[in-house]
């Protein structure tokens, strides 16, 4: 459920008519619903009732400060993968002891910043990283809590570009080979081995891969305890899918029931890192039709949004439902259309072969489920400025990232001294 609904034939974001936002802000723009963010977080948290559990929102899904603050106020910590993301969550008001630092390529500078900030935990993904973190901690005469991410070699059954738990993925350390790395970590100065971490991918639409991977993680905890490690945290990552209109993933309640069954009696604090599940359906992309172009074989609906604004369809073959902002403005029989942008790439397709009544020039369209891995992955390709992000709450709205100007875009470049101005 989300809070983007039609009222008298006009699509609203909560109580805000989208045509009003388009008139005020211009198109394209992203729009996020506070009520949807809060509801999705609450539903996931309620699914974990009865567990000793904490939720750390994976901000790589959407790192807008207003989104992070909304979820922090709801009770979420933050799962980060870079020094920049640590700075973002701190700016949004997340307490350092509610931050988990994941990722395969942490630099020593990022480690030092995170350590000085006093974050809760580092999720270590390789032996070289373990050595570097020990060096950084020792130089500060500090001890940091770590979990070591194991790779269970479980196929999540998702797109290969969002799978993270197979042996040929770059993430984690193969189990049971990781036992030797845990043993090494216990001997290194500056490190306190507290947990096992696991994350097998994103947009999973079946519980079976989760259950297979979680059982491996639970067995790993028991084995490591028998090896003498005081493991009291199990980080189960995120990855539960959302309905993009083409799949029906398990509910958070079913997911929570499975977790309770698999981890019963383990005695660990459980840590979860949902991202897409919380934010995907809390966001939309609003775009305006520029032209409708008919060829002998295709109908192209050309919009002012493009692949630089929303790269997921091009990058992953991702599906986003497309709906008109005004019901009934266009008339006719539905037919297949491609919704494309102005970028000079054949891959600039937002939606392909969609059966719909062909919209008119100047119509407003919405790409739904655009709150995750959307604005956060945008670029300025073709010298197209970054588009604004808007948050609504009831009848109120606020621009939470302004539209980039051409002057701001040009200011990132500079001519060398030997060129005339």
Tell me the pLDDT tens digit for each residue of 293-309: 999 889 999 999 999 99
Q: What confidence score (pLDDT) does residue 163 get?
A: 43
Q: What is the pTM of this model?
A: 0.95
Q: What confidence score (pLDDT) does residue 389 get?
A: 98
- Are 238 and 274 a contacting pair, CB within 8 Å? yes
Beta-ladder partners of 13: 4, 16
Beta-ladder partners of 389: 30, 401
Q: Which residue spans of the chain are classified as CATH 2.40.37.10?
A: 4-32+280-410
The fold of 34-276 is TIM Barrel (3.20.20)
Could you write out the three-class secondary structure of the chain?
CCCEEEECCEEEECCEEHHHHHHHHCCCEEEEEHHHHHHHHHHHHHHCCCCCEEEEEEHHHCCCHHHHHHHHHHCCEEEECCHHHHHHHHHCCCCHHHEEECCCCCCHHHHHHHHHHCCCEEEECCHHHHHHHHHHHHHCCCCEEEEEEEECCCCCCCCHHHECCCCCCCCCEECCCHHHHHHHHHHCCCEEEEEEECCCECCECCCHHHHHHHHHHHHHHHHHHHCCCCCCEEECCCCECCCCCCCCCCCHHHHHHHHHHHHCCCCCEEEECCCHHHHHHHEEEEEEEEEEEECCCCEEEEECCCCCCCCHHHHHCCCCCEEECECCCCCCCCEEEEEECCCCCCCCEEEEEEEECCCCCCCEEEECCCCCCCHHHCCCHHHCCCCCEEEEECCEEEEEECCCCHHHHHCCCCCCCCCCC
Beta-ladder partners of 152: none
Q: What confidence score (pLDDT) does residue 168 get?
A: 57
Q: What confidence score (pLDDT) does residue 161 get?
A: 44
Low-confidence ranges of the chain (pLDDT < 50): 156, 159, 161-166
29-66 pLDDT tens trace: 999 999 999 999 999 999 999 999 999 999 999 999 99
Q: Which residue spans of the chain are classified as CATH 3.20.20.10?
A: 34-276
**Among candidates 300, 345, 230, 271, which has minimal Cα distance to 99?**
271
- Distance from chain centroid for Cα 44: 15
d(CA 112, CA 53): 28
CATH no., domain 4-32+280-410: 2.40.37.10
Report CA-CA distances (Å) from 189 to 118, 122, 145, 147, 192: 17, 15, 12, 15, 9
397: left (phi over 0), alpha (psi -120 to 50) or beta: beta
268 is catalytic: no
- Distance from chain centroid for Cα 225: 33
Catalytic residue among 344, 383, 415, 419: 344
Q: What confidence score (pLDDT) does residue 155 get?
A: 56
**Among candidates 221, 326, 199, 214, which has minimal Cα distance to 266?**
221
How many CA atoms lie less than 13 Å away from 53 in the CB half-sphere?
Answer: 19
**Among candidates 233, 279, 284, 374, which has minimal Cα distance to 44?**
279
**Dihedral angle computed from the Cα positions of residues 265, 276, 162 and 194, in that order, rounded to the nearest 10 degrees:** -40
- Are 378 and 309 a contacting pair, CB within 8 Å? yes
Q: What confidence score (pLDDT) does residue 170 get?
A: 65
């Amino acid at each position: 459920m989300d809070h983007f609904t039609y009222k008298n034939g006009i699509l609203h974001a909560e109580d805000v008519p989208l045509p009003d936002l388009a008139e005020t802000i211009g198109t394209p723009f992203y729009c996020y619903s506070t009520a949807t963010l809060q509801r999705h977080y609450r539903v996931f948290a309620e699914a974990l009732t009865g567990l000793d559990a904490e939720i750390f929102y994976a901000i790589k899904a959407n790192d807008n400060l207003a989104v992070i603050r909304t979820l922090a106020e709801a009770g979420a910590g933050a799962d980060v993968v870079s020094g920049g993301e640590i700075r973002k969550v701190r700016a949004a008001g997340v307490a350092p002891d509610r931050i988990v630092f994941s990722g395969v390529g942490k630099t020593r500078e990022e480690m030092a910043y995170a350590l000085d900030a006093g974050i809760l935990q580092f999720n270590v993904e390789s032996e070289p990283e373990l050595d570097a973190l020990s060096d950084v901690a020792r130089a500060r005469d500090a001890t940091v809590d770590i979990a070591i991410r194991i790779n269970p070699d479980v196929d999540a059954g998702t797109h290969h570009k969002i799978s993270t738990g197979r042996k040929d993925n770059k993430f984690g350390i193969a189990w049971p080979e990781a036992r030797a790395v845990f043993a090494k970590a216990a001997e290194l100065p500056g490190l306190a081995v507290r947990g096992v971490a696991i994350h097998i991918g994103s947009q999973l639409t079946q519980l079976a891969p989760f259950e297979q991977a979680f059982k491996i993680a639970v067995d790993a905890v028991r084995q490591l305890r028998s090896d003498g490690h005081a493991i009291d945290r199990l980080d189960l990552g995120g990855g539960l899918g959302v309905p993009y209109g083409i799949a029906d993933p398990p509910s958070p309640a079913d997911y929570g029931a499975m977790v309770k069954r698999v981890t019963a009696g383990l005695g660990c604090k459980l840590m979860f890192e949902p991202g897409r599940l919380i934010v995907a359906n809390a966001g939309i992309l609003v775009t305006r039709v520029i032209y409708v172009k008919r060829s002998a074989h295709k109908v192209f609906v050309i919009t002012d949004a493009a692949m630089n604004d929303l790269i997921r369809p091009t990058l992953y073959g991702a599906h986003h439902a497309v709906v008109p902002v005004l019901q009934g403005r266009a008339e006719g029989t539905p037919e297949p259309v491609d919704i494309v942008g102005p970028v000079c790439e054949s891959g600039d397709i937002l939606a392909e072969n969609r059966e719909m009544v062909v919209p008119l020039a100047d119509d407003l369209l919405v790409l739904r489920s655009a709150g995750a891995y959307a604005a956060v992955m945008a670029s300025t390709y073709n010298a197209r400025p970054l588009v604004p992000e808007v948050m609504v709450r009831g009848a109120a709205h606020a621009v939470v990232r302004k539209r980039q100007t051409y002057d701001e875009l040009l200011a990132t470049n500079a001519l060398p001294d030997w060129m005339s101005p």
